[in-house]
Amino acid sequence: MLTIYGVYKSRASRLYWLVEELGLAFHKEPVLQARKVPDPLAADAPINTWTPSFLAINPMGQVPAIDDDGLVLTESLAILLYLAKKHGGLLAPQDLAEEGRMLQWLMWGATALEPITVVVTQGDESGEWKTDAGKKRLVGIGESLRRPLSAFEMHLAGGDYVVGNRFTVVDLALAEIVRYVQNHPELLEPYPRVMAWLERCQARPGFKAMWAKRNAE
């Protein structure tokens, strides 16, 4: 049995979207982010990323993680590719060249895009963007996004999806990374192909099922 560690309102959402796409049976272990728990080390604290039993799974204290019949993996993008290759059919790479392109775009998402977009979610949580200083900082984030999103916009001129002109696990992963800025449409408006691609990805039944569960959590 596949066990997924992490709540829907975390990076685990990308794994929960994938299992919806794949129709996989799984067990959810609802590990909270420690920052969301008043005293994460208290004896009665809910299981969280500082809980010793979870640190035995991932010493980095981050979700998501999985246990797939004894195989423990961390790092969400690696987990996505693993599950897609194991179960995913056309969601997975079909040959070595596609795998290379998928790895390229997954690593691009992790290094060039997510370090910027995740800051936007942190500002949403703290309310920073409602302040004058925050609004000015958000403009700067838009400038930081210009190079990666311009490159992505150019790439999408060649097709509706990232690799193989079909929806794959890479689209799923990158859509979750881009979603972090979706509450600020001014950051995406200069990139109409990116916006249309995100809309296509989020129109999928798998995303809608995951999102409904996330909102109900």
Q: Where in the chain is the domain with CATH 3.40.30.10?
A: 2-90
CA angle 209, 212, 215 (to 5 degrees): 150
Write out the two tokens for 6. Answer: 């992490």
Print burial letters for 136-167: b (CB count within 10 Å at least 16), e (below 16).
Answer: eebeebbeebeebbeebbebbeeeebbbbeeb
Q: Look at residue 125 in the predicted model and tell me its pLDDT.
A: 86
Query: pTM of the prediction?
Result: 0.95
* Separation of CA 90 from chain center: 20
Distance CA 185, CA 71 (A): 40
Q: What is the pLDDT of residue 88?
A: 83
Q: Quick one: which H or E segment has residue 26?
A: strand 26-29
Q: How far apart (Å, rounded) are the C-alpha atoms in residues 171 and 1?
A: 26
Q: Among all chains, which residue has been given the structure tokens 């099922």?
A: 209
- Structure token digits, residue 112: 């060039």
What is 82-107 written as a DSSP string?
A: HHHHHH-GGGS-SSHHHHHHHHHHHH
Cβ neighbors of 157 (< 8 A, separation 6 or more) are 193
Segments of the chain scoring below 50 in pLDDT: none
pLDDT at 132: 87
Fold of 93-209: Glutathione S-transferase Yfyf (Class Pi); Chain A, domain 2 (1.20.1050)
Q: Tell me the pLDDT tens digit for each residue of 92-107.
A: 999 999 999 999 999 9
| Max intra-chain CA distance, the chain | 54
Class of domain 2-90: alpha beta
Q: Looking up tokens 């685990």, which residue turns up?
A: 12
